[in-house]
Structure 1
Amino acid sequence: MYRLALTAAILGSASLSAEATAALPDPVRAMIDAAIASGNKQDVAAVVKLAKATNPDDVPEIDALMADYNASLARTAAAALREKQEAGFFENWTGQGELGGFRSTGNTRNLGLSGGVKLVKDAVKWRLNFQARADYERNRGRTTREQLNATIEPNYKFSEKLYAYGLAQFERDRFQGFSARYTLSGGLGYELVKTDAMRLAVKAGPAVRVTEFPAGDSKSSLAGLVGVDFDWQIADNIKLSQDAGGTYASDAQGFTSGTAVIDSDNTSITATTALTAKLIGGLSTRLSYTVEHETNPPVGRRKTDTLSRATLVYDF
């Protein structure tokens, strides 16, 4: 009888000990919950690693929390995929509007107004990008800059990183020596780096370009298009973008487009560096610097123009 009582006491004590060690301390649980609520996977992984190291007896409970977290992520991803698959053409568009001022150097040297719009439709196997920009300035009663640019670019995704692109672009800039310029291109793109904080993509393909001059004549040429697009989320509210040698509209947000259309007669290169800082809600401020270079511009025109822009951006 004594032995039975002793055995029962030992088993009861072991049960209480197991319950004590299985109970994750409230501060540790709160720390994990806060990391999960932040939505940052890197923070969650770091906090969980620390929690396991400092609470080795509670690893099974921490693993259970992580299993629930991963299951929730999987359900969210599945729901997002379903939404993309079932969405109509006019659904799930995102965009930006941008308005501000600029200072130009080169063929003109003045202050002016700058505005633009960007729209992105991202589906499961394809993506459609559209962006347009206008820069306008007057000096002493006459127009000294009137630059228009509109680009539409459909992408077909072969995989997470490889895609095919098509591109149609219209440009107008009489002060660079042409009244209209049309570019058609198609080729392949590849995302070399794609993380939550950083993205680096390249693309290339043949192009056809038709240029109309103010005098009424025009020129057609075969060319090649090359593009590099880099985006870096430096901090939660600050992003750096750099585009050179390509026209690319990213999932990542921003009017950052560069163009390198190469032919034997005249190569056009555009590179834009932009720093974007969030203010409140969907409103951000952006500082950008653009270099536009023509290797063989019309007679009397300078080869290089620059634009320094300060704008407000609204996400919708």
Structure 2
Amino acid sequence: MKKIVMMAATCGALMAAVPVGTMKQSAELGYIGSTGNSESQSLNAAYKNDYQYDEKTDMHLKADILYGEKSGVTSDERYRLFFNVNHYYSGDLFTYGEASALRNTFEGYNQQYNLGAGLGYNIFKDEKQFLKGKAGLQYRRSNYTSQPHDNFYYLKGGLDYLYNFSKTNKFTATWDLLDNLKRIKDYETVINLGLTMLIVDQLSFKMGFEIKYDNVPPAGKKKTDTTTTAGIVYSF
């Protein structure tokens, strides 16, 4: 119960931190199942804020928490925060900057921090769908649970795709790839798939699937982790 209260309080604090303006927000609460370094069925909470600063600049904040227990023992626990800013120029070219933080001791991280920047381009966009790509440089500091911390620079590439089945139902897919500039075998790739369907008014049902592959994971950890989510989303 304490964990659930903490989830709600964290989402509320994030809402209060976002400046007033033209924005879309959503809060999610649901179920998540994981495989890999943790095997459990957990509760998750998430908050998302999309803020249009002006005609050429948009900002995005995402945070999520998951927690699970088996026989009174914590079996899964993860905290993530991600923020990015996109600024568009003439046409479909844009620059981006991003920052993120992670805590997941089951994957071997007491803390992980990322800072990145780069270029992006809208490959195509119409009323039903869009696809954009991005590439840049990312700095990462990892504080591990069972080995000395490290600091590396990575090349980052990715694709974001959205398809609107209708005004109320949509499919999203993202793919990100990181490759260490000093050790090419040290790479990580993450794929996220999501399906959102409106139930009534501001309530939607959302299903998601994430697969993360880390070719050089922290000592003693598995290379592949997956999470499957299902929950209710309130948009406002």
Fold shared by both chains (TM-score > 0.5): yes
**One-letter identity of the residue aligned with 1:161:** D
Whether 1:183 and 2:114 are equivalent positions in the alignment is: yes
In the other structure, the counterpart of 2:221 is 301
- Please give the secondary structure, in 2, of the residue aligned with 1:312: strand
The number of residues matched between the two structures is 214
Q: Hey, which of these two has a bigger chunk of helix by percent?
A: 1
Q: How does 1:155-166 map to 2 (within 5 A)?
A: 155-166=86-97
In the other structure, the counterpart of 1:140 is 71
**TM-score normalised to the size of structure 2?**
0.86
Q: How does 1:212-227 map to 2 (within 5 A)?
A: 212-215=143-146, 217-227=148-158
Q: CA deviation at 1:298?
A: 2.1
Q: CA deviation at 1:159?
A: 2.8
In the other structure, the counterpart of 2:179 is 262
Q: How does 1:194-233 map to 2 (within 5 A)?
A: 194-215=125-146, 217-233=148-164
Residues 84 and 99, structure 2, Cα contact 8 Å, conserved in 1 = yes
Of 141, 149, 154, which residue of structure 1 is paired with 2:85? Answer: 154
Cα RMSD (Å): 1.4
Q: Hey, which of these two has a bigger chunk of strand by percent?
A: 2
Q: CA deviation at 1:216?
A: 6.9
Whether 1:274 and 2:204 are equivalent positions in the alignment is: no
Whether 1:104 and 2:26 are equivalent positions in the alignment is: no
**One-letter identity of the residue aligned with 2:179:** I
Q: Sequence identity of aligned pairs in percent? A: 25
Q: CA deviation at 1:202?
A: 0.5
Could you list the per-position Cα deviations for residues 107-132 of structure 1 after superposition, in whole angstroms to 9, with x for gaps in the alignment?
Answer: 12110011111111112121111111
Cα distance in 1 for partners of 2:164, 2:152 equals: 38
Q: CA deviation at 1:146?
A: 1.0
Q: CA deviation at 1:299?
A: 2.7
- Please give the secondary structure, in 2, of the residue aligned with 1:159: coil
Q: CA deviation at 1:94?
A: 1.3
Residues 106/216 of structure 1: CA separation in 2 closer, same or farther (3 Å cut): closer
Cα distance in 2 for partners of 1:159, 1:271 equals: 30
Q: Bigger radius of gyration, 1 or 2? A: 1
Whether 1:116 and 2:46 are equivalent positions in the alignment is: yes
**TM-score normalised to the size of structure 1?**
0.65
Residues 25 and 47, structure 2, Cα contact 8 Å, conserved in 1 = yes
Residues 175/303 of structure 1: CA separation in 2 closer, same or farther (3 Å cut): same
**Stretch deviating more after TM superposition (200-209 or 210-219):** 210-219
Cα distance in 1 for partners of 2:116, 2:46 equals: 22
Q: How does 1:79-90 map to 2 (within 5 A)?
A: 90=20
Could you list the per-position Cα deviations for residues 237-289 of structure 1 after superposition, in whole angstroms to 9, with x for gaps in the alignment?
Answer: 321111111xxxxxxxxxxxxxx222126322211111111111111001111
- Please give the secondary structure, in 2, of the residue aligned with 1:235: coil
Residues 84 and 97, structure 2, Cα contact 8 Å, conserved in 1 = yes
Q: CA deviation at 1:215?
A: 4.0
- Please give the secondary structure, in 1, of the residue aligned with 2:165: strand
In the other structure, the counterpart of 1:288 is 208
Could you list the per-position Cα deviations for residues 179-222 of structure 1 after superposition, in whole angstroms to 9, with x for gaps in the alignment?
Answer: 11111110011111111110101001011111001247310011
Q: How does 1:18-97 map to 2 (within 5 A)?
A: 90-97=20-27
Could you list the per-position Cα deviations for residues 74-131 of structure 1 after superposition, in whole angstroms to 9, with x for gaps in the alignment?
Answer: xxxxxxxxxxxxxxx5211211111100111111211001111111111212111111
More relative contact order, 1 or 2 (CA 8 Å, 6+ apart): 2
Q: CA deviation at 1:311?
A: 0.8
